[in-house]
Amino acid sequence: MQTIAVTGGSGKLGVWVVEELISQGYRVVSLDEKRSDQLKCKQIKVNLSDFGQVIGAMHGADAVVHLAAIPAPLGYTNDYIFANNVRSTFHVLEAASMLGIGKVVTGSSESAYGFCWAPKPFSPSYAPVDEEHPALPQECYGLSKIVGEQTGEMFHRRTGMQIFSLRFSLILTPKEYSLSSITRPESFKRILWSYIDVRDAVQACIASLRSDAGGHRVLNITSDDTLSDRPTERLLADFYPDITDIRRKFTGREALVSNEHAKSILQWAPERSWEQIKENL
């Protein structure tokens, strides 16, 4: 039985990842500063800014899912958000390299592209947005995610470690769908109306753990459709008329952020749409 260490195991995505890993027969250890009553696994209180605590807590793990981070450029000073996110990722990967752990899945973000939180809003260079699109963050959180991805690249280059940096779109739990302003498309313009159901995000993490794809892989983890009831081509015409490099025709509410690489590399695909879920609420 493999042991998987999950940092941020008490967090929004982490609790779902831990639960699913346990249900699939893995031994799981949650590493977090906070305990969760939801978790039915060993929990170790860890400050990821303290390398000694990190390497001690990760000892005995076969793989790591690193989800702990401040999830937005909000609530803390810019320097703290950047330092916290970058340091924790470095510590997890450094500990993994020293302990001989060969696989790490890290939580990156669509914020790496820069659109989401930009003080000076700008449009994508082309659509659909794939992993080759320039990453142009203007704030601490998006920058921390880019640095985290580059840290993963460095550790793979140095050690051969297999690393996945998953650029999650807005993660929605079942209870959050009823709160989503789907009929007001301006609400989600900055994230290109992209989202991912938490259960599909979990499956992307597990598919990464099981994948034999080598190297360091940066992958968009997003749904197949947009978080809007309008056709995608109308969204582009109404909100992004300055995007002239449209690389293919969009059908219906097809997503503007491409998940094709994740589908190909991980043999994974999102199974849920807000439209189906809201009908059952």
- Calculate what percentage of the chain has a pLDDT beyond 70: 98
- Calculate what percentage of the chain has a pLDDT beyond 90: 92
What phi and psi values does residue 216 have, to the nearest 5 degrees? Answer: -110, 120
Residue 232 lies in a domain: no
How far apart CA 31 and CA 91 sit, in angstroms, is: 13
Residue 278 lies in a domain: no
Mean predicted confidence (pLDDT) in 39-45: 98
> Which tens digit of pLDDT belongs to each residue from 207-232?
999 999 999 999 999 999 999 999 99
**Is it the case that residue 278 has pLDDT exceeding 70?**
no
* Cis previous bond, 128, omega within 30: yes
Residue 107 lies in a domain: yes
> Which tens digit of pLDDT belongs to each residue from 124-159?
999 999 999 999 999 999 999 999 999 999 999 999
Give 129's DSSP letter.
Answer: B
> Which tens digit of pLDDT belongs to each residue from 165-213?
999 999 999 888 876 678 788 999 999 999 999 999 999 999 999 999 9
Residue 179 lies in a domain: no
Residue 104 lies in a domain: yes
Q: How confident is the prediction for the chain on average, in pLDDT? A: 96
Q: For position 41, which CATH number holds?
A: 3.40.50.720
- How confident is the model at residue 170, as a pLDDT? 97
Residue 242 lies in a domain: no
Contacts for 34 with CB less than 8 Å, ≥ 6 apart: 10, 45
CB-based contact 162:219 (threshold 8 Å):
no
Count: domains in the chain? 1
- Token pair for residue 78? 């810019």
Which residue do the tokens 């920058």 mark? 143
Global model pTM greater than 0.75: yes
Residue 94 lies in a domain: yes
Range of the domain at 162: 3-171+196-224+256-273
Give 257's DSSP letter.
Answer: B
Residue 186 lies in a domain: no
How far apart CA 144 and CA 196 sit, in angstroms, is: 21
